[in-house]
């Protein structure tokens, strides 16, 4: 018979960034990191795994309908091998179980967002693969143990095995057994966290994170300074989340993103992920925050950028409409905004006042357009789907 399992996994966006490996084979990081899991209702990878004794030999994988080679010693091959090993241990303990670990696999994975959107699709993709194989093999391992496997596929993928607010602990062991993800707080602890993804470019990035971070480790003296900062920031971020302190959350998020991009600039040759539109968006959020601080005493938003020009802006539910209106007012968006939460109340951007904030137009923002805006919020971890 054919055995089959389907799982979905979410995208995560780090607020304390992972950048640098101390072990490139096991993917062990030079620092711990922390992310917010985004809602799978909007962004997700979905993976179906099948195995059957009568399949032709060799594992095969399709990504968005296109077949990709599964190299035994490649990152994907390693994830599959590790999960097989776990299954075969289970089989050894129970004679009656079918020997699924010995059967060829057929794996199909889809993203419900364009891979080219510049969003981290490898994290959700690898997490969905690990979740679906763990389901197929009925593995008893905890999500943290499974995160160790996903980590070997792509570092940031380990954080997509959890919902809510997630830390990837760097660990100290050389075999990587304590370099794993864990939930810092559930989605329900702070469900008001919303995110606006400003897609600035849908082109594939110039320098991949894998090669970029390796070059940083080899050449950047500033990275050594960053590594002294991160442990304190991890603690501060965890307490900001524990006490739902948005001001601290946003300030740390922006500081860490800027520090990460400074380290990229300090790399030789330098890596530029931000472009003029990215910097203009930073300018706008900084100005919104200045105005908000003046009006209410609090920050309204926090931006962060991964290894590309796209901006992710975190803001609380009650403030996200203001942020969306402000972005729309100063940056023409090419695609229509679907307004999934209906926060704009059907009003056009130009009609709405940015909450009475006197945000002056700056020529620095006149840098071009944003492709599209994706409004989402904090979400849950991998889901098991029934057979379709």
Which residues of this chain interact with ligand DP6, rule CB under 6 A?
A: 14, 17-19, 27, 33, 120, 122, 154-156, 209-210, 306-307
Burial of 150 (0-12, 13-18, 19+ CB in 10 A): buried
What DSSP string describes 61-88? EEETTEEE---TTSHHHHHHHHHHHHHH
User: Judged by CB, which is closer to ligand DP6: 209, or 328?
Assistant: 209
Beta carbon of residue 270, minimum distance to ligand DP6 (angstroms, whole number): 16
Closest to ligand DP6 by CB, 14 or 136: 14
Q: How far apart are CA 104 and CA 87, in angstroms?
A: 13
β partners of residue 62:
67, 108
- In whole angstroms, what is the distance from residue 354 CA to residue 360 CA? 11
Task: Kindly state the smallest distance separating residue 307's Cβ from ligand DP6, in Å.
Answer: 4
Q: Least CB distance from residue 342 to ligand DP6, whole Å?
A: 30
Task: For residue 38, give the 3-state DSSP assignment.
Answer: strand
Least distance CB 120 / ligand DP6 (angstroms): 6
Residue 270 three-state SS: coil
- Tell me whether residue 34 or residue 139 sits nearer to ligand DP6 (CB atom): 34
Three-state secondary structure call for residue 35: strand
- β-pairing verdict for 105-111 and 60-63: parallel
User: Closest approach of Cβ 64 to ligand DP6, in Å?
Assistant: 18
CB of 357 to ligand DP6, least distance (A): 31
Compute the distance between CA of residue 272 and CA of residue 268 in angstroms, rounded to an integer.
11
Report the residue closest to ligand DP6, judged by CB. Answer: 155
Q: Name beta bridge partners: 50.
A: 4, 106
Shortest CB 145 distance to ligand DP6, Å: 18
Tokens 């995560």, residue located: 12
Please identify, using beta-carbon distances, which residue of 51 and 230 lies nearer to ligand DP6: 230
Nearest residue (CB) to ligand DP6, 64 versus 210: 210
Closest CA to 303 of 317, 286, 320: 286
- The DSSP secondary-structure symbol of 205 reads P
CB nearer ligand DP6, residue 17 or residue 325: 17
CB nearer ligand DP6, residue 31 or residue 46:
31
């Amino acid at each position: 018979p054919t055995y089959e399992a389907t799982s979905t996994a979410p995208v995560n966006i780090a607020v304390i960034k992972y950048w640098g490996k101390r072990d490139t084979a096991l993917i062990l990081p030079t620092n711990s990191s922390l992310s917010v899991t985004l809602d799978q209702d909007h962004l997700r990878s979905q993976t179906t795994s099948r195995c059957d004794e009568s399949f032709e030999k060799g594992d095969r994988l399709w990504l968005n309908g296109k077949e990709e080679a599964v190299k035994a010693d490649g990152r994907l091959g390693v994830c599959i091998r590790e999960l097989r090993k776990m299954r075969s241990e289970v089989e050894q303990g129970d004679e009656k179980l079918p020997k699924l670990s010995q059967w060829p696999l057929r794996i199909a994975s889809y993203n419900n967002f364009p891979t080219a959107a510049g969003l981290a699709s490898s994290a959700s993709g690898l997490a969905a693969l690990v979740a679906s194989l763990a389901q197929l093999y009925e593995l008893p391992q905890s999500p943290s143990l499974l995160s160790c496997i996903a980590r070997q596929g792509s570092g940031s993928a380990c954080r997509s095995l959890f919902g809510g607010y997630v830390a990837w602990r760097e660990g100290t062991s050389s075999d990587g057994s304590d370099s794993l993800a864990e939930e810092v707080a559930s989605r329900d602890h702070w469900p008001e966290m919303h995110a606006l993804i400003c897609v600035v470019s849908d082109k594939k990035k110039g320098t991949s994170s894998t090669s970029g971070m390796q070059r940083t480790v080899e050449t950047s003296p500033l990275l050594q300074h960053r590594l002294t900062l991160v442990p304190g920031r991890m603690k501060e971020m965890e307490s900001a989340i524990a006490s739902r302190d948005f001001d601290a959350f946003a300030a740390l998020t922006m500081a860490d993103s800027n520090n990460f991009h400074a380290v990229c600039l300090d790399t030789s040759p330098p890596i530029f992920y931000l472009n003029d539109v990215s910097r203009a968006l930073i300018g706008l959020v900084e100005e919104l925050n200045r105005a908000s601080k003046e009006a209410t005493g609090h920050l309204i938003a926090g931006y962060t950028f991964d290894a590309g020009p796209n901006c992710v802006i975190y803001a609380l539910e009650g403030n996200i409409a203001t942020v969306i209106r402000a972005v729309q007012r100063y940056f023409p968006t090419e695609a229509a905004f679907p307004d999934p939460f209906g926060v704009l109340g059907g009003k056009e951007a130009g009609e709405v006042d940015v909450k009475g904030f006197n945000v002056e137009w700056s020529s620095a923002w006149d840098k071009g357009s944003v492709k599209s805006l994706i409004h989402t919020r904090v979400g849950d971890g991998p889901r098991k789907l029934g057979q379709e």
